[in-house]
């Protein structure tokens, strides 16, 4: 009787251990790459989505390099993070800061060297900094079109290209860019912004194809409206600040939820992620599948907005 029990128990124990191991492997695969100790660079980290990304990556145990134009505001973020009670599962690290303006090519090059000096390498670059725009094309100075392109497109790609050689050398790293739903569809009175985000999408899609085989994934994240100061900081056709918190922005997604989704996309090395509700998502499909209808809807949207402004 004992013999039968002993003989029956061993396969049972082995099967249980096997199932447990398989379960742990599946959980790990689902969670993706751990962030503990990973060197993560975040641009535009002084506010909005960048600041929330700093919070979630810090809590996940990443070693951060926070970038922005305002040293004092970056230090405030560092203080906030250092004083926050984080997930006790992880040891956390005091973030480094690098102050520079993305639109100045010389300062981007210098900043890239400073960023690399922090830990000697980079695991994840999150190109998050950006500026929006409000205006109609007829009244917009060409210099404004250029400035938005400098901040949202040339700045991030200059930083990416300055940091890329060190990733290629190590055959390791991850490039992330925060684009927008407006990188996939163009809506009226956003020409400079939508154009810069479309260019961003195209550049990083090319980059993914070119460096994927080197073990360096590229993630493009396209959120819908997020509750930040993006509209307040937006520039208008004459270069002045828009200064208004739009209803669409105020009722947008919580930046903390978007930051959590960014962390998930990084861990899972996702290629292209749209973080938006049904209407923008349907609009993206409509632009490809039924462009004539999409263009009609955009014209009618433009006329309505113009009428509203005239009233």
Ligand X SMILES: NC(=O)C1=CN([C@@H]2O[C@H](COP(=O)(O)OP(=O)(O)OC[C@H]3O[C@@H](n4cnc5c(N)ncnc54)[C@H](OP(=O)(O)O)[C@@H]3O)[C@@H](O)[C@H]2O)C=CC1
Contacts to ligand X by CB under 6 A: 43-44, 46-50, 68-70, 73, 101-103, 128-131, 151, 178, 180, 223, 225-226, 228-230, 233, 249, 252
Instruction: Indicate whether 219 belongs to the interface with ligand LVWHZ4SM (CB under 6 A).
Output: no
Structure tokens given for 283: 């609009």
Is position 45 an interface residue for ligand LVWHZ4SM (rule: CB under 6 A)? no
Closest residue to ligand X, judged by C-beta, is 48
Least distance CB 54 / ligand X (angstroms):
10
Q: How far apart are CA 204 and CA 117, in angstroms?
A: 25
Nearest to 61 by CA among 97, 93, 30, 95: 93
Q: Can you tell me whether residue 41 is helix, strand or coil?
A: strand
- Give the residue among 68, 88, 90 at the shortest CA–CA distance from 78: 68
Residues in contact with ligand LVWHZ4SM, counted by CB under 6 A, come to a total of 23
The answer to whether 140 contacts ligand LVWHZ4SM (rule: CB under 6 A) is no
Q: Which residues are CB-neighbours of 37 under 8 A, at least 6 positions away?
A: 61, 62, 63
Query: For the CA atoms of the chain, what is the radius of gyration?
Result: 23
Tell whether residue 253 is a contact of ligand LVWHZ4SM (CB under 6 A): no
* Options 154, 204, 225, 253; binder of ligand LVWHZ4SM; rule CB under 6 A: 225
Overall residue count recorded for the chain in this entry = 311
Which is nearer to ligand X, 61 or 140 (by Cβ)? 140
Q: 193 an active-site residue? A: yes
Q: Does 186 bind ligand LVWHZ4SM (CB under 6 A)?
A: no
Nearer to ligand LVWHZ4SM, 204 or 225 (CB): 225
φ/ψ of residue 104, rounded to 5: -105, 110
By the rule CB under 6 A, 128 interacts with ligand LVWHZ4SM? no
In the complex, the smallest distance separating the C-beta of residue 257 from ligand LVWHZ4SM, rounded to whole angstroms, is 15
Determine contact, residues 251/225, Cβ cutoff 8 Å.
Answer: yes
Q: Does 220 bind ligand LVWHZ4SM (CB under 6 A)?
A: no
**Which does residue 286 bind out of ligand LVWHZ4SM, ligand X, none, counting CB within 5 to 8 angstroms by kind?**
ligand LVWHZ4SM
Q: What is the DSSP string of 212-254?
A: GGGT--EEEEEE--BSSSTTTT-EETTS-B-----HHHHTSB-
289-310 burial code (b ≥16 CB/10 A, e <16): eeeeebeeebeeeeeeeeeeee
CB of 73 to ligand X, least distance (A): 5
The interface partner of residue 234, options being ligand X, ligand LVWHZ4SM, none and the CB cut-off 5 to 8 Å by kind, is ligand LVWHZ4SM
Whose structure tokens read 């939820």?
Answer: 257
Catalytic-role residue among 193, 203, 225, 242: 193
Catalytic residue ranges: 193
């Amino acid at each position: 009787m004992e013999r039968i029990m002993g003989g029956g128990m061993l396969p049972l124990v082995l099967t249980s251990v096997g199932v447990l191991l398989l379960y742990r492997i599946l959980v790990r695969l689902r969670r993706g790459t751990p962030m503990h100790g990973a060197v993560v660079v975040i641009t535009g980290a002084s506010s909005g989505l960048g600041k929330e990304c700093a919070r979630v990556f810090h809590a996940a145990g990443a070693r951060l390099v926070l970038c922005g134009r305002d040293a004092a505001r970056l230090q405030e973020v560092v203080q906030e993070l250092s004083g926050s009670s984080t997930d006790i599962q992880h040891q956390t690290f005091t973030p480094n800061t690098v102050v520079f303006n993305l639109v100045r090519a010389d300062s981007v090059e210098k900043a890239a060297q400073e960023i690399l000096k922090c830990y000697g390498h980079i695991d994840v670059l999150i190109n998050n900094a950006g500026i929006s725009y409000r205006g109609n094309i007829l009244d917009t100075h060409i210099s404004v079109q250029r400035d938005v392109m400098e901040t949202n497109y040339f700045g991030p790609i200059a930083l990416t290209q300055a940091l890329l050689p060190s990733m290629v050398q190590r055959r390791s790293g991850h490039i992330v860019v925060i684009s927008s739903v407006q990188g996939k569809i163009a809506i009226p009175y956003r020409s400079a912004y939508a154009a810069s985000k479309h260019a961003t999408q195209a550049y990083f899609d090319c980059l993914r194809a070119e460096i994927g085989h080197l073990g360096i994934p590229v993630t493009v994240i396209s959120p819908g409206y997020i509750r930040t100061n993006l509209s307040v900081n937006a520039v208008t056709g004459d270069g002045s600040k828009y200064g208004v918190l739009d209803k669409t922005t105020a009722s947008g997604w919580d930046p903390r939820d978007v930051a959590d989704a960014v962390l998930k996309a990084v861990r899972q090395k996702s290629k292209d992620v749209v973080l938006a509700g049904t209407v923008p998502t349907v609009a993206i499909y409509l632009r490809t599948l039924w462009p004539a209808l999409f263009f009609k809807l955009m014209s009618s949207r433009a006329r309505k907005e113009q009428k509203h402004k005239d009233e």
